[in-house]
Structures are given as structure tokens and as C-alpha cells.
Chains A and B, each alone.
Chain A
């Protein structure tokens, strides 16, 4: 008996797995960058006021 042709579902499944992990890692990187920018601005303000 031939196996079912489920290659499309296989691709969809791994797209979800790699996509979700990739998006989460990207969110960590983006949040880190935003914090670094924010810290730089706050440090400048801190230096100007002190």
C-alpha cells in the first residue's frame, strides 16, 4: 500500500515550527534593540540634566 501523499501538510507543519521559533527569537532581538536605544536616550538626558 502506498503512503498517503501528505507532503503539503508536512511543509505546513515545519513552516509553523520554524516560523514560530524564528518570530520569537526575532521578538527577543527587537525588544533588546529597542531597550538599548531607549537606554541611550535616557542616558543622554541624564547627562544633560546632571
Chain B
């Protein structure tokens, strides 16, 4: 496999530096929230991780559509990579949400519409991985994977809008809060800057990880081809 491209090496270092800067902003620049205390700082990366999760699943759905049109396996690899990364970041989002909820809601978990839809979304994409494992024929696996990524994407807007449609205790960051929301707070300009910067940095991290994951997938295909050649 070819050496890591220079552009990817530069992106790695830029991502590391931006991530350190975002962490420093969360720890030292954003002010301490007056009621919730330190745990509120988890919110910046919690939202950013949720954003990356949804962005990944959106990319996977788009890649699925392009795959079905072009039948080019490159798009299958892009979709698969995006879903793998999306699962990791959605898991971070759900778990950090539970950690925040414990002192604020006095419960690790409640069957609130947002928590429920986010968990369903995560499980939908876990099922995607299992579906792929269960199909041996590569062409069939790619076609089913593409269709699943498109249909599975329905869970994303459902999760995003759940706190805007249903009665919920989950705070709404953009737009008005439900009166029953618990743990909501008004963001100061410093908090907003930190949140937007965190979302930007996580987006860069997503691009970096996608690049690495796609290269890994290409390498896997190459080794598989070598195996097939030796078996013949």
C-alpha cells in the first residue's frame, strides 16, 4: 500500500492541534454554568459528537444513492466508512448525555423522545454492520448496504426533530425550549463560540477519520484480491 499522502499527514496534525485547542476552549475559555457546574462542559463535545453522527449517516445515505446509480464499489466503501464512524460518535453522544443527565435529571436514563430516537438510530446502524456481515456475495452486500443506508437515514431527521415535535425534557440548543425541558440554559457569547468551534473541529476530525477509514478499506480490498489470486 502506498505511503500516507502528505496532505493526509498535514490534515492529521491540523486535526490534533484543533482538537487540543477545542479542548482548551471547553476547559478554560467557556465560562462555568452557574447551576449545573462542571458537567455542563460535556455539552460542547456532546453536541459536536451528535452532529458528526448525523453527518456521517447523511454521507452514507448519499453514498448509497450514488452507488445504486453508478454501481461503483468506491461509493460502498465511502458509505460503510461513514456509518462506522457515525456509530462511534453517536455512541459518544448517547453515553455523554446519560452522564450529564445523572446529576441534572437525577437519572442516567429516561424514555424521553430524544433519548429513545437517538438510541433507535444507533441500533439501526449497528444492524447495518450485522447485515453486511451476513451477506457473502460482495455485489449483493453492496446493493443491500446501499438500500439500507438510504432507508436507515429516516431515523436521523426523526432523532433531530424529536425534541422539536414531541413533548420532551431534553433541552433544545437551537430554537425555543419545551417548557418541560430540564437542564436548559441561556448560552453566553463565549459558550456559543466554544460550541461552534467544537462542531467545526469535530467536522474536521470526521474528514480525517473518513480518509483513514477509506484507505484502510482500499487496503483490505487489495489484500482480499491477493488472497483470491493465490487461491485460484
Chain A positions within 8 Å of B, measured between CB atoms, are: 1, 3-7, 9-10, 12-14, 16-17, 20-21, 24-25, 28, 31-32, 35-36, 38-39, 42-43, 45-46, 49
Contacts and interface: CB of A to CB of B under 8 A. Distances in A.
- Interface range, B side: 35 or more
B100 interface: yes
Contacts of A31: 216, 220
Interface string B142-172: 0000000000000000000000000000000
- Secondary structure at chain A's binding surface: helix, strand, loop or mixed? helix
B34 A1 contact: yes
Contacts of B223: 35, 38-39, 42
Contacts of A10: 37-39, 41-42
B49 A17 contact: yes
A29 to B, nearest CB: 9
B88 A24 contact: yes
- Secondary structure at chain B's binding surface: helix, strand, loop or mixed? helix
Contacts of A12: 99
30 contacts: A1-B34, A3-B32, A3-B33, A3-B38, A4-B36, A4-B103, A6-B37, A7-B37, A9-B99, A10-B37, A10-B38, A13-B46, A14-B42, A14-B45, A16-B92, A17-B49, A20-B88, A20-B92, A21-B88, A28-B209, A28-B216, A32-B219, A35-B1, A35-B220, A39-B1, A42-B223, A42-B226, A42-B227, A46-B226, A46-B229
A41 to B, nearest CB: 10
B230 A6 contact: no
A6 B38 contact: yes
A2 to B, nearest CB: 8
Contact of A7 (B1, B38, B45, B209): B38
